[in-house]
Amino acid sequence: MFNAILINKTDVGYQASLQAIDDAQLPEGDVTVRVAYSTINYKDGLAITGQSPVVRKFPMVPGIDFAGAVETSHHPAWRAGDPVVLNGWGVGETHWGGLAQKARVKGDWLTALPAVFSPKQAMMIGTAGYTAMLCVLALEKHGVRPADGEILVTGAGGGVGSVAIAVLAKLGYTVVASSGRADAEAEYLKALGAVEIIDRAALAAPGKPLARERWAGAVDAVGSHTLANVCASAKYRGAVAACGLAQGMDFSSSVAPFILRGITLYGIDSVMAPPTVRQEAWARLAHDLSPAKLELIGAREIALAEAIQAGQDILAGQIRGRVVVDVNR
């Protein structure tokens, strides 16, 4: 038996609860992992509350990422005791996820946990931080250099934004952070490496097709009008990495910044990214995310039973940075 958060859909709606589950109920997979830590991501909040149809099979264990050690393996790449991390691949949506003491998955979905990170540190980073690193890699491969100008990070107080700021600042970029809690979060965001904080209201309303050129690059975790305004104010041949939809899935933009300024909009998919991309991202995180900044980002730890409330809190904008879930307490 093991403990897990389990979501069921009944006539009265979604119901998430902490339950004891028999090992025999674990889904199919060739590797069983003894989970040490998971996290609460925005998508987990949607799953737990049922505010969006994230979960597509019931019952479902939520949790789109986890870190732990292999318990048993029938996959050639993994042996018992190997430290591993998993992000995405539909876990917590179509396959039981990480808010549990055990997970059974396909071995192809696992990534070796870099030796510099403990399982808890890996989940301080989590899917949010891994996604942030994918965004940074996209900007680098586009050719955006620190000397090119300011980099904007929206949704700066969240997990993606926090890690993106810390990594970009370490790499020498001038980072401007956009936050809905600009005054309250200013000290935190500057400690991560942001040089300026702007209120999200400046970007959240419908804007012009083209605005004054400012951003050499951007990491956007918000979407909707914010993303449209970021694109409108990107510099000539600038790049925007889009990975979130906290404001909405709509994108009321114009072709003007794309054909008049030659900007590029990169869609960042963290869920189905191939293993080689994941390995590169985690290797870079091990090199470019300083331990001090990681501790600053990942300061809050909760027990498995608290994950349901945390899922509600993240949708309400009440969570800063990362929340790690110790699934064994």
Neighbouring-strand partners of residue 67: 37, 85
Over residues 300-311, the mean pLDDT reads 95
Sign, CA torsion 176/180/181/185 = negative
Share of the chain above pLDDT 70, in %: 99
Over residues 87-94, the mean pLDDT reads 96
pLDDT at 77 over 70: yes
Mean confidence (pLDDT) of the chain: 94
Element (H, E) at 195: strand 194-199
Dump pLDDT digits (tens) for 216-245: 999 999 999 999 999 999 999 999 999 998
Dump pLDDT digits (tens) for 129-170: 999 999 999 999 999 999 999 999 999 988 899 999 999 999
- Cα separation, 276 vs 48, in Å, equals 31
- So what's the pLDDT on residue 12? 78
**Antiparallel, parallel or unpaired: β 150-153 and 215-220:** parallel
- Cα separation, 145 vs 224, in Å, equals 27
* pLDDT level of residue 320 (50, 70, 90 thresholds): low
**Antiparallel, parallel or unpaired: β 31-39 and 65-73:** antiparallel
* pLDDT level of residue 183 (50, 70, 90 thresholds): confident
- DSSP code per residue over 73-97: E-STT--TT-EEEEE-TTBTTTB--
- Three-state SS at 102: strand
| Cα dihedral 42/44/48/53 (nearest 10) | 80
Provide the token pair at 12. 């009265």
In eight-state DSSP terms, residue 247 is S
- So what's the pLDDT on residue 14? 80
Over residues 77-88, the mean pLDDT reads 97
All domains of the chain, ordered by start, with CATH? 2-113+299-326 (3.90.180.10), 127-267 (3.40.50.720)
Taking the CA of residue 290 as centre, how many other CA atoms within 13 Å lie in the half-sphere pointing to its CB? Answer: 13
- So what's the pLDDT on residue 321? 64
pLDDT at 249 over 80: yes
Over residues 33-42, the mean pLDDT reads 94
Comparing C-alpha atoms, which of 141, 158, 228, 146 is closest to residue 195?
146
Tell me whether the omega of the peptide bond preceding residue 76 falls within 30 degrees of 0, making it cis: no
Say if pTM beats, i.e. exceeds, 0.75.
yes
